[in-house]
Amino acid sequence: MAAFSNIRALLSRNITRHARPAHLKGFARGLATAKAPSSLFASLDTFSDRHIGPDDNEVAHMLAKLGYDSMDAFVADTVPEKIRVSSASVSNESIPALSESELFQRAKELGRANKPFKSFIGMGYHNAVVPPVILRNVMESPAWYTPYTPYQPEIAQGRLESLVNFQTMVMSLTSMDIANASLLDEATAAAEGMVMAFTGSNGKKRTFFVDGGVAPQTVAVLRTRAKGFGIKLVVGDALADLDDEALRADLCGVLVQYPDVNGAVKDFSGLADSVHSAGALLVCATDLLALTMLKPPGEWGADIVLGNSARFGVPAGYGGPHAAFFACTDKLKRKMPGRLIGRSRDVNGKPAYRLALQTREQHIRREKATSNICTSQALLANMAAMYAVYHGPVNLQRIAQKVHGFTQIIKNAVENYGYKAVNTQYFDTLTFEVNGVVKDAEAIHSAALAAGINLRRIDDHHVGLTLDESVGAEDVVALINVFASAASLPPVSLNELSAISAPAIPESLRRTSPFLPHPVFNTHHSETEMLRYIYHLQSKDLGLVHAMIPLGSCTMKLNSTSSMIPLTWPEFASVHPFAPKDQVKGYEQIIKELESDLCKITGFHACSLQPNSGAAGEYAGLSVIKAYHESRGEGHRDVCLIPVSAHGTNPASAVMAGLKVVPVKTHADGNLDLEDLKAKAEKHKDKLAAFMITYPSTFGVFEDGVQDACKIIHDNGGQVYLDGANLNAQIGLTNPATCGGDVCHMNLHKTFAIPHGGGGPGVGPICVAEHLAPFLPTHPIVPTGGDKPINAVAAAPYGSASILLISWAYIKMLGGAGLSDASKIALLNANYMAHRLSGHYSLRYKNGKGRVAHELLIDLAEFDKAAGLKVMDFAKRLQDYGFHPPTCSWPISTCMLIEPTESETLEEIDRFCDAMIQIRKEAEDIITGKQPKDNNVLKNAPHPISVIAAEEWNRPYSRQTAAYPMPWLLEKKFWPTVSRIDDAYGDTHLICDCPSVEESASSL
């Protein structure tokens, strides 16, 4: 107990809360909202005062500290006058505000407008059954949906472990060597696989063959992606059409679906041999539940295996968000896109997880990239992983066997009516030929609709149906009787049906290998144990439930409960993305309103909600620009100018869209070099396609010359893509159209409050000027976009449609005035923070009036020179103060980019600033020699309980200093669960799955 004596002494002190400034005491929020209602009839549950952190008194305090007596005066010094827009452009007149209760009622009303039909459409989407313990404690839990991507692993061990569970689940079920931590959807995952095959041939082979059994939405996305890379896409019968020698000589890869979209289960082992003999890769799209019964692709020769994991406990949600999985052979692992979680250890040798091989992430390669993936679907991947943990291998196979058994019963019964099943070998999907029994397929669909059922529309002669875990005995009877009714034949009853013993899977394709033997998948099967496991993992992760997450360019604002609630209502969660239009009137209205509001906010003419990440929005916007040039006979325009300060996804997206990147310089003050831009625009004027610019800049400043830059581009025949990553600084003050843009994307998971989910989901819709509207993306099943559209950029017509509800609700509850106020407070909070940190840290960039935008960039280079302290040393020490560090080493390697958002109160902002100032004092002790340079409180940070409580303590500072450097930490402290991670060890010992039974036993 000697180790705790000093801590006990510290705990005996009087605990002081971090107090508000003295002159603000007594001004509480009260039980309703901060401002008095305008009348007795006004709502008391207005959202703006709940969402925006500082109240009027705190705002006045911060303005006074900055030398202003009004918000208008402050904004005038922060946002250039020439790009300001009228206050009426985004106001309560243009976007009326709803109270929280009014929003709830409006959402209920629109939910009722969606007809509750049961869909058996399939095509990669299922009616997943979400275990209540996962629904309530993961999907609906802010402890799981508010954290950021686990770039700081010491405070993210919980979801890192869960993502390793996801990777392990995928590797085990597919029998592949390695899997990533999820991609955006199945179709874009297939596109990533295609490009891997193309680059695997060093771009020398350009033909990619797609089997006719692949889902049509996947084919559409492949066509879009193939165009940018100059890949020749050929669709046909992979088992019959690959004998052509000319085709084989140019073949880089083949994509098959297993089982295919029509339900057929085919043996592709011979195809694998043929593809490999041609020097190409075999890519397989598959289904995880089916693989509990089918021979896994890794056992018959697939090189890449991918698909949608959503049937493992993730709602259909009108198309998403869903976590795609992606696995490959060991030799391809360093080319695999997306995030990869690996096992490593901390500096004390304790096992720990981390993001592995980060330097292989494609967007880091900028213009040399072949993928722009820089995110994942972490929340949905964690749900799918938890589903597998909860059910385990035995119950997963039982679910699969029940689904398959019901499918067999339906096939036999329907064939007894004279219909013919096209596929005799299947798992859960059947395609029936209806000719000879009824006039055409419409007769079947009419009978189905009369029964409240949706079947898959194929053509006039065929219908399809897919079963899933949600199907019960009564559904089986209803489906059979649809076919009976259409043919005017007698219906069946349940007691007439019986199970079929032998599976409809050929013996050679039945799974014989075990799966998911790891302890984690064979332990937590009672709800008690599952609940404890979920809470054990979440206790390791810092989210917005604990503290501010001041990540620059990430906008970690409040994800309000009121905007999240409708998300899991069945009237929204249970809708198939290809349901008939007349059944989704509620969704249609929400989508229409959201598109309209986003156009008002950006100043643009039209919107597409299909892109399901920010990088996907970049790619879609540039593809639209390319299509516009082609429509004018200027398809040769292929040069894209991009500032060197841009995020790496910008050049990566440009390459994917078929553009050639030319970098543009920036000045020492952070501003764009307009002379260099002009010179390069004029040099490439005959081939100039686009210019990409982020505004405010990635350096955290509103540049005066943005309109001049856009004019230079337009004068030379190009279009302007304005990256909307920093839109939170603009709303109601300026907009991308006024700045001079032609297209922009928005990050709904930043500006419009969709949670980051620990690394996804996200939504990256694009808004465009009128001349670009005809080229917005369409979809092969549910047409969207303009009259000259590009092909689909996502699997579902409206991308991650269900979470659009969150941004719709956010905008509706804030209203135009609240949205504008939010941007103003975001600017004020950042500038107040810059003021408080001045004199302690070097502010890298500011405008002529000394103002930053919504974020600030502090440079720590001086500490490296004086004491060998790196950015990461400051970051890890902040963890000891209970904070998530700001964005580190970007956009400049020696800097931190800090963004407080509008949701943080003055008290929390001051608490963060106090922590940073105290760390500055600790750094000064190292600079002056009071602490050694190689063994100090920053270099050794963070300090988990295991270190603080260790019997031995041989560090040149006290345990109190390490663990409780500020008094308020005694009352509330988030503890890192491991010491600093050894990154190098993790990359040289790459292990990306769960511990085995033997490893778990040896650690006991």
Beta pairing partners, 254: 209, 282
Say if residue 490 is preceded by a cis peptide, omega within 30 of 0: no
Long-range contacts of 233-237 (CB under 8 A, 24+ apart): 233/208, 234/207, 234/208, 234/209, 234/210, 235/209, 235/210, 235/211, 236/209, 236/210, 236/211, 236/212, 237/211, 237/212
Q: Check the CA dihedral 919-923-928-929 and report its sign.
A: positive
Q: pLDDT at position 871, please?
A: 97
Q: What is the mean pLDDT of each run of 10 residues along the chain (1004 residues)?
A: 40 43 44 64 90 96 98 98 95 96 97 97 97 98 96 97 97 97 97 96 96 98 97 98 95 98 98 98 98 98 98 98 98 92 93 79 58 87 98 98 98 97 97 96 98 98 98 98 98 95 95 97 98 98 97 95 96 98 98 98 98 95 98 98 88 94 91 96 98 94 95 98 94 98 96 95 97 98 97 98 98 98 98 98 96 97 97 98 96 95 98 98 98 97 97 96 97 97 76 63 51
Residues 608-644 as b/e (b if ≥16 CB within 10 A, e otherwise) read: bbbbbbbbbbbbbbbbbbbbbbeeeebeebbbbbbbe
Q: pLDDT at position 37, please?
A: 79
Give the integer Cα–Cα distance in Å for 84 and 733: 5
Q: pLDDT at position 1001, please?
A: 53
Q: pLDDT at position 999, please?
A: 57
H helical segments located in 181-327 = 186-200, 216-229, 245-249, 269-277
Q: pLDDT at position 39, please?
A: 85
Written as six digits, the tokens of 384 are 């799918």
Whole-model pTM: value is 0.95
CB 362 within 8 A of CB 369: yes
Give the integer Cα–Cα distance in Å for 285 and 187: 9
Q: pLDDT at position 10, please?
A: 39
Strands 856-859 and 895-898: antiparallel
Give the integer Cα–Cα distance in Å for 353 and 340: 10
CB 324 within 8 A of CB 373: no
CB 379 within 8 A of CB 163: no
Strands 232-236 and 351-355: unpaired
Written as six digits, the tokens of 489 are 């034949």
Quickly count helices (H) and strands (E) in the chain.
Answer: 32, 26
Q: pLDDT at position 32, please?
A: 34
CB 571 within 8 A of CB 586: yes
Q: pLDDT at position 373, please?
A: 79
Written as six digits, the tokens of 790 are 């590009």
Q: pLDDT at position 251, please?
A: 98
